[in-house]
Amino acid sequence: MKSMETRRRALLCAAFAMLVPLSGMAGAYDDFFRAVKMDDAAKIKALLGRGLDPNQIEAERGHTGLILALHEDAMKVFKTLLEAPGVNIEARAFNGDNALMVACYKGNTAAVKALIAKGAEVNRPGWTPLHYAAASGNNEIVQILLDKSAYIDAESPNKTTPLMMAARAGQIYTVKLLLDEGADATLKNDLSMTAIDFARLHDHRDIVEGLSYRLKKAGKL
């Protein structure tokens, strides 16, 4: 009887010992994302030093710490996570965005350069970093991506190109840059819309006029 009781207590102790680390890691998970939002790089370093995976995924949107840091403009944490062993810079959130795409949309040139230096893919199937940079109208980032061989007429899943995104957003200087670099203004997406159609739909008359002039000059309109 004593031996059975001893065994039962031993099993309970073992089970409790297994639960303690899990409980600790659950707390560390919350601490991790709290530290990201507060740009607390020291806390992130401490958590990583305790063995926390740098690729934790936030439950609501599927953001990794790296992606969330970019959304929150938490650059100290971003730099810490970027240098963390085993960090996955290509990890995607639930909506398909990765760190480079978010950095491009946010116009964070320093982060874009750092990610590319770390080996981030400039070209990928579907929506690309160039789509996001064109939509935000950051010509410095657009040029960085083009200099790294970003495909200028990349097609999204519905065949929308970066030029269409720039035209839709009214980014006239980005439209000009993309045209100067060889973007094809005659392309159509799955709705048979061209960049001119996007500009016209959103009442960007200066872009409509500019694109029309270019196409007429090239004998394509």
Mean pLDDT by 10 residues, the chain (221 residues): 47 40 64 97 96 94 97 98 97 97 97 98 96 98 98 97 98 97 97 97 97 89 80
- The pLDDT value given to residue 220: 84
Report the pLDDT value the prediction gives residue 217, as an integer from 0 to 100. Answer: 86
Q: What is the pLDDT of residues 50-98, one digit of tens each?
A: 999 999 999 999 999 999 999 999 999 999 999 999 999 999 999 999 9
Structure tokens at 121: 């893919």
Handedness of CA 153, 136, 40, 23 (dihedral sign): negative
C-alpha pair distances (Å), 184 with each of 2, 119, 191, 196? 83, 28, 17, 11
Q: What is the pLDDT of residues 100-109, one digit of tens each?
A: 999 999 999 9
What distance in Å separates the CA atoms of residue 78 and residue 86, rounded to the nearest whole number? 14
Structural domain range at position 132: 122-221
Residue 34 falls within a domain, yes or no?
Answer: no
- For the whole model, what pTM was predicted? 0.86
> Looking at the domain assignment, is residue 130 inside a domain?
yes
Q: Does residue 182 sit within a domain?
A: yes
CATH code at position 136:
1.25.40.20
pLDDT at 6: 44
Per-residue model confidence (pLDDT) at position 80? 98
Q: Does residue 183 fall inside a structural domain?
A: yes
Tell me, yes or no, whether 47 lies in a domain. no
Interatomic CA distance for residues 85 and 136, integer angstroms: 31
Question: Is 175 within the bounds of a domain?
Answer: yes
Q: Cβ distance 167 to 175 under 8 Å?
A: yes
pLDDT at res. 27: 83
**Rounded Cα gap, residues 83 and 200, in angstroms:** 45
53 neighbors 20 (Cβ within 8 angstroms)? no
Q: What is the pLDDT of residue 26?
A: 58
Question: Is 132 contained in some domain?
Answer: yes
User: Which amino acid type is present at position 216?
Assistant: K
Q: Cα separation of 9 and 30, whole Å? A: 32
Count of domains for the chain = 1
Whether 149 is covered by a domain: the verdict is: yes
